[in-house]
Structure 1
């Protein structure tokens, strides 16, 4: 079978499984009541008929509608942004909706009582508005939209996590809503959602020709297509579909990535085919998950379980012989290099030392006032402040180096430890240690984290062997990360105290770091930086293409394994210190670029300095800004890095990120 051609039997198989699962779950009840009675409004006393008509059938309808909407939204996002990693989650819509619900729960519960759907939709569209405001300056160039959406999503997620840590009793329900719930009490939500999805689908049908031409990139302007308008409208429809779905059932985000990827992997290369096949696959996958949950009577989040089912399906169709994800063309513009890079590096070094000194000598007094310490008082405080500062800076450097390596190796600006599933693997490895070891030491946690990260990379190499598609490699990483994150979410939803202890760690806290851990992390950071510098020359040759690297004597397979192994080690060590952060690893390399540090050694040094500076500042603010309580350094790094990156992005005007 030629994998480049569409294989209808594969999509038909998914639909058939969905129909079979529905028949197994609802068939006996419908047969007992009769088809006409099952589809008619029952009398109040008919318990089984009431359950079927007002709960189970609306739930089935919502699964179909939401899966269809998310599949269509993901297809639109990937076509407009020309990146197979793009999805509704990329634009921060789901995180914005979750933040709006958290804020309303804490400070305005009446809004939820009035309309929970309206509250979450308002949050989703507010996040979209921020992304669109920034993207407008760049004429909705794909990389600018993607990175802005990632910043907004990470920012909203950081605020939600912070609010949950400070108000865990009030916001514990967000774990369930965030996992996605399809429970229904009547037909009102389905009746409200259907015309919205139908209207968006009709608009997509009218835009098919313009969306097809978008594949030409900026050259489409020569054909009379208003790129600015088409990109904005396409993203708006994708955002609307996502916001409507999230407001109705919560976050079921993986379908937006999985359904289009599965459609492409089974041969639906043409946009018209993907616009039909991807929504159908999304609906079928969500129905399969929901019917399976009902048959097992498991009270687990549907969104997380969808990832557990969708990831294997995605991997199976991608690993078919010859199946691949065709890389989408992207227009790249070069950011001007700084005329005096050493001067800019010196500025970063001075800034890092200044923040470090401030973090050591400044703080809050007993009465909450700002004070500076010196002499004997400083000697007493130094054993507490210096180790956490060293650990924070070291973690920032390691994450920045890991992000730089992954972005250079894959030639994708979205690559980061989280995107490749390395952070999720580290977190899952640590979770396994917490369940298997009664009193885990730091060595146990380090071994578990490194083992989890290494396992993810080994699986990636095994599945991606022989593939020259960087996009395919990244999608495999995203899928594995989603799978492990879903497993962690299921364990967290179980309420086990050992799992709940992960919540504060996942926020990224350094307040318990001792001198041993601090100096160990600094040794890893120094060793990692030295290794990166030694590998710089072959890394630059590899960036020019595998053919160029091979002609210069670089063993492609061994070099890729070496770089990925180094990135995994740096990520695992840093993750154990400050939690599974992706923001520093994703954004520090881009900050260095925006600062004019473009070329190999300058860029890597600049990224490392930006990572260290971000984490040092975040550690100081987390210790002092909410005194006497301490805010996690990881969350503060996200909250601090967002505006900094946005400023650099805006100052760059309309140059696309390289």
Structure 2
């Protein structure tokens, strides 16, 4: 399998490179024109200073991201770990966004160094939060995801209010490999050479880091030192590539999985084949982009890479081998509450009071008020507040089910892929008609989510519903919606404005009937989740234990997957594809001491609802009369709070 894939990718890449070179040069030009172009020959200049450096940069960037992804997945013992897990790329994007708005000279004259500074700050935050726990995989993973979400949300807020000024930053962030000379190659080559050389020297420690900590220590490994070194090497590689060519998605996630699925087992072989596959996949994709009959600037290479690599990964997902036991087993056990249901009852009452305050207290044209607004305003606020609670609670409930079912701290509704299907449905409807009604938006989102769910169920069934494979399928399918959004943003499609508010987690357009339906779905989800609590306690222990307890592993997993997917689809259609409550609500509930499945599900729903309710109220009032979408604000405000909790409790 491995030789066939390698030969196929190599041949395809060479054919595309040859075709693009021949399309630039006339047939009678000597091959020496490639090395030494004539000053008056436009074609030779174009080949030497744009096409050839672009090929070399693609080869180096793809190989480097493959190596970085392999290191992260080994160190963090998680097949979903990728460059985005460390938040390095998101940190670079945020600092460049800030520099473009307030320090334009630095952004234009030293963009690479600004990006590297952002990457360093993001990595420092993650290491600082994880240091007390010896850089444990679970703590690093969770801290990295929160930093990544926070930086991404902060960038999105700035983009929302300064869209016209930040178009260039978005194009950079989408992963364009355009080159005007050989400076990009000269920037990448020495830095990547040193980092990859160090990576090659730590193959044996990487093999031991994949083991349980106690076993690795018994073999004489200084876990903290080598884990820090490995994370630094991966972060440096990611930061250098991101600074040079922007955010290239999917390579760091998919290529190591491809290497393992086709036979690579040891860290050295996996890194080597990841480098080869990464270089070939990125270069072949970029050459395809350049060969398109339309202007290639509409299609960012970073997004197209995910679109082209997704089918290959889906084909091989059944062959994927687990790296280690579930990552959540390495997390420090939080204290257990003595009376969890009493606390849940009190929290529900507190949430009800907060709901009332969000309706009757706020800002208006005359300033702050309590119960002094027109009657119609109360009705609007009630609908928005109830929908925020219901949407956040459904997402957190779905996240709690996924995290318990798979044993993976990265399990969340957005990772499942159903929200991306709903997003694609809404995008298709928006692009198909002149004006999108709320009914059409809901219908299109439901169809998109349903089709995606059916596809996930079919693929997961072939993979025996294994947790890591299930989440990897979801991430892979989500890459398609990422490609569509990247194309729309790059093309500056005017219809994009209709989507931005909804995609940011907006409650603006929710109607009374929709809010009531959402509450009903949430109630049904909580009831079903409580009935299935025994499965959620048994499934993380593995298929063998489940069968010994009389639980059909495949049937139970399929039913839980269906439940979480329905909750995700309903919340996404209601308030848009949020990216915080579903991931963090379950973690906050666990940190608060809710350990048993039923209590954890109810507490997660309360926390998720509170997160979105608070964000909806703040977004409505903080910069009145302007408003910030609840999804973005939830991440920006809630991210630091959760990071503080993680630093003190994990």
| Range of TM-score over shorter length | over 0.9
Q: Indicate which of 631, 634, 647 corresponds to 1:634.
A: 631
Q: Write the distance in 2 (CA, Å) between the matches of 1:399 and 1:619.
A: 15
- 8 Å CA contact 1:361, 1:378 repeated in 2: no
Q: Write the distance in 1 (CA, Å) between the matches of 2:219 and 2:321.
A: 27
Q: Write the distance in 1 (CA, Å) between the matches of 2:342 and 2:495.
A: 49
- 8 Å CA contact 1:351, 1:613 repeated in 2: no
Q: Write the distance in 2 (CA, Å) between the matches of 1:32 and 1:416.
A: 57
Note the 1:83-482 alignment, pairs <5 A.
83-218=78-213, 219-296=215-292, 297-299=295-297, 300-319=299-318, 323-329=319-325, 330=327, 331-332=329-330, 333-367=332-366, 369-374=367-372, 377=373, 379-468=375-464, 469-482=466-479
SS of the residue corresponding to residue 418 of structure 1 reads: helix
Range 533-542 or range 515-524, more displaced:
533-542
Range 454-463 or range 491-500, more displaced:
491-500
User: Aligned pair in 2 of structure 1 residues 265, 459: CA closer, same or farther (>3 Å)?
Assistant: same
Are 1:56 and 2:88 matched, yes or no?
no
Q: Write the distance in 2 (CA, Å) between the matches of 1:406 and 1:345.
A: 21
Task: Report what 1:623 is aligned to.
Answer: 620
Range 308-317 or range 78-87, more displaced:
308-317
Q: Indicate which of 483, 486, 494 corresponds to 2:483.
A: 486
Q: Write the distance in 1 (CA, Å) between the matches of 2:637 and 2:187.
A: 39
Are 1:516 and 2:513 matched, yes or no?
yes
Q: Write the distance in 2 (CA, Å) between the matches of 1:540 and 1:512.
A: 38
Once the two structures are TM-superposed, the CA of residue 463 in structure 1 deviates from its matched residue by 2.1
Deviations 1:236-276 (A, max 9, x none): 11111111111111110211111111111111111111111
SS of the residue corresponding to residue 363 of structure 1 reads: strand
Deviations 1:137-182 (A, max 9, x none): 2211111111111101111111111111111111123332221111
User: Aligned pair in 2 of structure 1 residues 552, 82: CA closer, same or farther (>3 Å)?
Assistant: closer
- 8 Å CA contact 2:505, 2:632 repeated in 1: yes
Deviations 1:297-321 (A, max 9, x none): 42211111111111122223335xx
Once the two structures are TM-superposed, the CA of residue 553 in structure 1 deviates from its matched residue by 4.9
User: Aligned pair in 2 of structure 1 residues 602, 190: CA closer, same or farther (>3 Å)?
Assistant: same
Deviations 1:180-236 (A, max 9, x none): 111111111111210000000111122112112112221212222111111111111
- Structure 1: gaps spanning 5 or more residues: none
Once the two structures are TM-superposed, the CA of residue 404 in structure 1 deviates from its matched residue by 1.2
Once the two structures are TM-superposed, the CA of residue 411 in structure 1 deviates from its matched residue by 2.1
Task: Report what 1:575 is aligned to.
Answer: 572
Once the two structures are TM-superposed, the CA of residue 569 in structure 1 deviates from its matched residue by 1.7
Range 114-123 or range 544-553, more displaced:
544-553
- 8 Å CA contact 1:450, 1:569 repeated in 2: no
Deviations 1:535-568 (A, max 9, x none): 3334434344434444555444443333222222
- 8 Å CA contact 1:446, 1:573 repeated in 2: no
SS of the residue corresponding to residue 593 of structure 2 reads: coil
Matched residues, number: 641
Note the 1:582-593 alignment, pairs <5 A.
582-593=579-590
User: Aligned pair in 2 of structure 1 residues 28, 261: CA closer, same or farther (>3 Å)?
Assistant: same
Once the two structures are TM-superposed, the CA of residue 629 in structure 1 deviates from its matched residue by 0.6
Q: TM-score scaled to structure 2, two decimals?
A: 0.94
Once the two structures are TM-superposed, the CA of residue 438 in structure 1 deviates from its matched residue by 4.8
Q: Write the distance in 1 (CA, Å) between the matches of 2:323 and 2:443.
A: 36
SS of the residue corresponding to residue 611 of structure 1 reads: helix
Q: Write the distance in 2 (CA, Å) between the matches of 1:396 and 1:171.
A: 30
Once the two structures are TM-superposed, the CA of residue 646 in structure 1 deviates from its matched residue by 1.7
Task: Report what 1:70 is aligned to.
Answer: 65
SS of the residue corresponding to residue 110 of structure 2 reads: helix
SS of the residue corresponding to residue 371 of structure 1 reads: strand
- 8 Å CA contact 1:614, 1:640 repeated in 2: no
Once the two structures are TM-superposed, the CA of residue 439 in structure 1 deviates from its matched residue by 4.3
Q: Write the distance in 1 (CA, Å) between the matches of 2:283 and 2:53.
A: 12
Task: Report what 1:595 is aligned to.
Answer: 592
SS of the residue corresponding to residue 513 of structure 1 reads: coil
Q: Write the distance in 2 (CA, Å) between the matches of 1:210 and 1:353.
A: 52
Q: Indicate which of 3, 24, 40 corresponds to 1:8.
A: 3
User: Aligned pair in 2 of structure 1 residues 513, 25: CA closer, same or farther (>3 Å)?
Assistant: same
Q: CA RMSD in A?
A: 2.0
Q: TM-score scaled to structure 1, two decimals?
A: 0.93
SS of the residue corresponding to residue 33 of structure 1 reads: coil
Task: Report what 1:611 is aligned to.
Answer: 608
User: Aligned pair in 2 of structure 1 residues 569, 439: CA closer, same or farther (>3 Å)?
Assistant: farther
Once the two structures are TM-superposed, the CA of residue 60 in structure 1 deviates from its matched residue by 0.8
SS of the residue corresponding to residue 211 of structure 2 reads: helix
SS of the residue corresponding to residue 413 of structure 2 reads: coil
Deviations 1:308-352 (A, max 9, x none): 111122223335xxx222242355353331122234324422431
Range 323-332 or range 132-141, more displaced:
323-332
Are 1:19 and 2:14 matched, yes or no?
yes
Q: Write the distance in 1 (CA, Å) between the matches of 2:187 and 2:106.
A: 19
User: Aligned pair in 2 of structure 1 residues 265, 491: CA closer, same or farther (>3 Å)?
Assistant: same
Q: Indicate which of 474, 498, 503 corresponds to 2:500.
A: 503
Q: Write the distance in 2 (CA, Å) between the matches of 1:130 and 1:85.
A: 21
